[in-house]
Every structure is written in structure tokens, then in C-alpha cells.
């Protein structure tokens, strides 16, 4: 496929150019102006004859932050170092020019082995959460949205191509284990990312900028209900929030796996629909505070989106495999069968096998206090599974669980290739072979 020129259409997503910008440009502007790009500040050059700042072009109005209209007026007779500190304190996040001088950003850039083509200003923008800076031109909202979709796409295709017979509930659990908020928070900690106590323009841009919410009011989500169980502070009752589901007000309705696939997110969790709107332009306002887990997850997602925009699909997939897919995950421990013997009987009937029969393979100490029985489950002459236990029922149940896991954890020989590998320039050298698509799990 032909590569696209991103600079022509993704200016609102890409971070500033890598051109160096000193603070002498920043001092010439009023404290109410902020620039998304270091190139934009060069347009405010001082006129050679008048000594006044020139007005910007009309098409640069979107790059100016309208949030800073109430910034304090700085006296002209104030010392220069105090002017610098006052201007920085007036900003909700560190300015673009500070990114080049941050040792933390340079260390993080080198620690992750990022490409030199990924500007350090983009890395600084990935560290600015929407709760710290509500301006979408300076926070990581757009980048994290792109990175979250990429993580979901790459993870889901890797799981389904490797284990095409997995039940939907296990796929949701595996997705959460790979790219869930808790996992991405742990990844950011392993990268050495630190959070700032309070965001502002005067702090080092190498810290993660976000406004934390009060720990006494942190909402704990219940995956089996449409309510958010909060800590009992005032009312003592669980708070019901809006969700993007039909008939969400009916609390007694059961959430099935099929409805989770359609209405819920990639982890099978509820999608909140209670977002505030700006009365001026009807845009969605960012939340005032966030949790540390969500802020760290959005940073890891934003970095993935930035790598995809600046370096392309191949580098983004390599970054995903090195930092996410390389982690060991025991998917066999995620199964939770309620009645494995009945599920195995239904599976054999659906696939046209003979009815499963449990047979004792060996035993020891039947008359003692700790007997051990080894039971095998057979369908005709084929042994489907084997299990051991202290009783015949326990051994039979474990044998049925082993047989079900052997079916659901089937992996093709060429499971390493995924559909996204067929994209790009190297796809023509190796033809694509369709992967196995299973008819689905057993419905009892």
C-alpha cells in the first residue's frame, strides 16, 4: 500500500515539529497565547521597525489556547526570571520549549529505544492527561484514542488466531490481562514513569501530568451489574450512572455474553454514557479528575498512537510485540466451568462424537484416608481427557475439565500469522492463508 503523508491531514493529532525553540520567543508573547507547534511561535516575530509583535494568521486561531484568557497580567518591570516563573505558572501544562531541556524525557526516550524520528515533544504530549490540560491540542486524548484502538485490534487478532476456539468470556479476560488498565499501569511503572503531585507549567515535562481524584470517592465498578458501587460517604447507596445500553434502567436484567459483544467495550465492561457537554460548542468536556490507573493507561495508549503516526504500522506492531505480547499469560487458568461433565456431553453431541464415558485408569489406597483415583474420559476409543483426585467424582470432573481445555485451547500450526501481517509492502512475498474460524462455544 502507498504510504500517506501524515503532515497534510493529521496536524491536530501530530505533536509539534522537532525544531528547537528557546524561551526568547515565548517572552515576546502575551501570557494568554499557547502554541501547539514550535513553528507557530516563529510567526510572532518582532517587527524590525516598530518593535511590536505581529498578529498571527487567521488559520492559526485553532492553535491558540482559549482557556488562558483569564491569565494574570505580568508587570513589565518585573525581573526576567520572575516573569518566566509567572508565565509558566499560568499554563496548565509545561510549554513545548521545555521538552528539549528535560533530562527525564530524554532518559525515557532512550530507555524505550524510540526512534529519533519520534520527536521528544510528542513524548511530552503523551504525558499530559486531559484532566491536567483540557485543551485537546496539548493533551493526549487524540493519541490515546488511536492507541487504544490499535492495542485492541492487535491483541484481539493475536488471541483469536492463536486460540480460535476460545469462549467469549475467556477472550474478554485475556484482553483485559494483556491491555487492560491494570496491565498498562504496571507497564508504565516498569518504564520508570512517575506522576506529578499537581500539574502545571513550571514542572518538568518528564512527569505524568494529571489531576488525581480523592481516594475516598474512587468508584469501584462491578462487572455483573449496571451500577457503580462507590464508597459510602454521604448517601450510603450505590450510585447509578448512565451507560450506552438499551433498558439500562432495569437493574434486574441479566447481561449476557452476546450483549457484551455488541454494547460493551473490548473488555466486556460497561461503557459510561454520562459525559458532560460544553454549553458553548457542545463538545465533550474532559473529567475534572482521574485515577492513577486510568492516567497511566492513557499514557501507554497515547505512546502507541504516536509511534503509529510517526513511524508507521511496522514499528507500531514491533513495539506492541516487545512490550505487550511478549508477556506470559496462562490462558488455561482463566476457565471457570460450572458443570464440565454436562458441557462435555453437549460438545460431543454437537460435533458428532460418541457420548463421553468415564473409566478408572488406576487407583491406590482406596481403603486408606488419602486415596488417589485416576480417571479418563473416552469417546469411543479416543481418550479425551484425564484427571486425578481424592474421589471418583473429583477425578471425573477434572478429566472433563481437561477434555474441554484440550478442545478450547487448540492452536493451529501456523498461528503466528495474523490478518494485519497481510498489509504493507512485504505482504506480496508471502500469500495470505485464511485462519480457522470456529462455529462458537457450547451453549448449555
Task: Return the biggest CA–CA distance within the chain.
Answer: 107
**Of 31, 30, 29, which Cα lies nearest the Cα of 46?**
29
User: Which range, of 71-75, 275-279, 347-351, 414-418, averages the lowest pLDDT?
Assistant: 275-279
> pLDDT per residue over 375-395, tens digit each?
999 999 999 999 999 999 999
Q: Give the model's pLDDT for residue 23.
A: 40
pLDDT digits (tens, 9 = 90+) for 299-339: 999 999 999 999 999 999 999 999 999 999 999 999 999 99
pLDDT digits (tens, 9 = 90+) for 22-55: 344 343 344 445 555 544 444 344 444 444 444 4
Q: Provide the 3-class DSSP secondary structure of residue 113.
A: coil
Average pLDDT for 54-63: 41
Q: Mean pLDDT score of the chain, rounded to an integer?
A: 77
Give residue 241's pLDDT: 47
Return the pLDDT at 281: 53
- Predicted pLDDT of residue 96: 83
Q: What confidence score (pLDDT) does residue 213 get? A: 76
Distances (CA, A) of 197 to 56, 103, 211: 35, 19, 8
Average pLDDT over residues 175-179: 94
DSSP secondary structure, 271-324, as one string: PB----B-TTT-PBPPPS-B-HHHHHHHHHHHHHHHHHHHH-HHHHHHHHIIII
Residue 137: pLDDT over 80: yes
User: Which three cell numbers mark 367?
Assistant: 481403603
Collapsing DSSP to helix, strand or coil, 145 comes out as helix
Q: If you average pLDDT over residues 244-267, what whole number do you get?
A: 76
Average pLDDT over residues 91-116: 90
pLDDT at site 340:
93
Q: How confident is the model at residue 106 (pLDDT cuts 50, 70, 90)?
A: very high
Q: Give the C-alpha separation, 120 to 139, whole Å.
A: 14
> Among 196-200, 254-258, 281-285, 402-406, which is the least confidently predicted range?
281-285
Q: Within a 13 Å sphere around the CA of 326, how many CA atoms are in the beta-carbon half?
A: 8
Compute the distance between CA of residue 188 and CA of residue 190 in angstroms, rounded to an integer.
Answer: 5
- Residue 167 backbone phi and psi in degrees, to 5: -65, 160
Q: Which residues contact 421 (CB under 8 A, 6 or more apart)?
A: 427, 432
User: CA geometry: angle at 261 spanning 256 and 266, to 5°?
Assistant: 125
The span from the CA of 305 to the CA of 193, in Å, is: 18
Higher pLDDT, 12 or 397: 397
Q: What's the pLDDT band for 17 if we cut at 50, 70, 90?
A: very low
Amino acid at each position: 500500500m502507498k504510504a500517506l503523508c501524515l503532515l497534510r491531514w493529521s496536524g491536530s493529532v501530530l505533536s509539534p515539529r522537532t525544531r528547537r525553540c528557546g524561551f526568547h520567543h515565548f517572552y515576546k508573547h502575551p501570557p494568554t497565547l499557547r502554541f501547539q507547534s514550535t513553528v507557530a511561535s516563529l510567526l510572532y516575530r518582532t517587527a524590525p521597525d516598530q518593535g511590536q509583535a505581529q498578529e498571527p494568521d487567521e488559520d492559526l486561531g485553532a492553535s491558540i489556547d482559549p482557556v488562558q484568557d483569564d491569565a494574570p497580567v505580568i508587570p513589565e518591570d518585573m525581573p526576567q526570571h520572575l516573569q518566566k516563573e509567572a508565565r509558566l505558572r499560568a499554563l496548565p501544562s509545561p510549554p513545548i520549549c521545555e521538552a528539549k531541556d528535560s533530562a527525564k524525557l530524554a532518559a525515557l526516550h532512550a530507555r524505550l529505544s524510540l526512534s529519533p524520528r519520534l520527536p521528544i515533544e510528542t513524548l511530552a504530549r503523551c504525558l499530559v492527561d486531559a484532566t491536567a490540560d483540557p485543551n485537546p491540542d496539548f493533551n493526549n486524548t487524540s493519541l490515546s484514542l488511536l492507541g487504544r484502538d490499535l492495542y485492541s485490534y492487535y491483541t484481539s487478532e493475536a488471541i483469536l488466531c492463536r486460540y480460535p476456539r476460545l469462549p467469549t468470556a475467556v477472550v474478554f479476560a485475556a484482553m483485559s490481562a494483556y491491555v487492560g488498565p491494570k496491565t498498562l499501569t504496571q507497564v508504565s511503572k516498569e518504564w520508570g514513569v512517575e506522576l506529578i503531585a499537581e500539574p502545571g507549567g513550571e514542572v518538568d515535562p518528564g512527569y505524568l501530568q494529571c489531576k488525581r481524584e480523592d481516594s475516598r470517592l474512587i468508584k469501584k465498578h462491578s462487572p455483573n451489574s449496571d451500577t457503580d458501587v462507590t464508597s459510602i460517604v454521604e448517601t450510603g447507596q450505590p450510585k447509578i450512572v448512565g451507560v450506552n445500553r438499551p433498558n439500562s434502567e432495569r437493574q434486574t436484567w441479566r447481561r449476557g455474553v452476546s450483549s457484551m459483544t455488541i454494547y460493551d467495550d473490548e473488555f466486556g465492561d460497561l461503557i459510561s454514557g454520562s459525559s458532560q457537554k460544553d454549553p458553548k460548542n457542545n463538545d465533550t468536556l474532559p473529567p475534572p479528575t482521574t485515577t492513577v490507573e486510568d492516567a497511566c493507561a492513557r499514557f501507554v495508549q497515547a505512546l502507541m498512537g504516536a509511534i503509529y503516526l510517526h513511524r508507521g504500522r511496522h514499528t507500531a506492531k514491533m513495539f506492541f510485540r516487545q512490550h505487550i505480547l511478549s508477556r506470559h499469560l496462562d490462558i488455561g487458568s482463566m476457565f471457570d466451568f460450572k458443570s464440565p461433565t454436562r458441557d462435555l456431553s453437549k460438545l460431543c453431541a454437537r460435533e458428532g462424537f460418541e457420548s463421553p464415558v468415564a473409566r478408572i485408569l488406576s487407583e491406590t489406597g482406596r481403603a486408606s484416608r488419602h486415596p488417589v483415583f485416576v480417571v479418563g474420559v473416552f469417546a469411543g476409543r479416543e481418550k479425551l481427557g484425564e484427571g486425578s483426585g481424592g474421589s471418583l467424582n473429583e477425578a471425573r470432573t477434572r478429566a472433563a475439565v481437561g477434555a474441554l481445555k484440550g478442545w478450547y485451547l487448540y492452536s493451529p500450526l501456523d498461528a503466528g500469522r495474523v490478518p494485519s501481517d497481510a498489509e504493507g509492502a512485504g505482504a506480496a512475498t508471502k500469500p495470505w492463508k485464511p485462519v480457522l474460524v470456529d462455529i462458537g462455544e457450547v451453549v448449555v
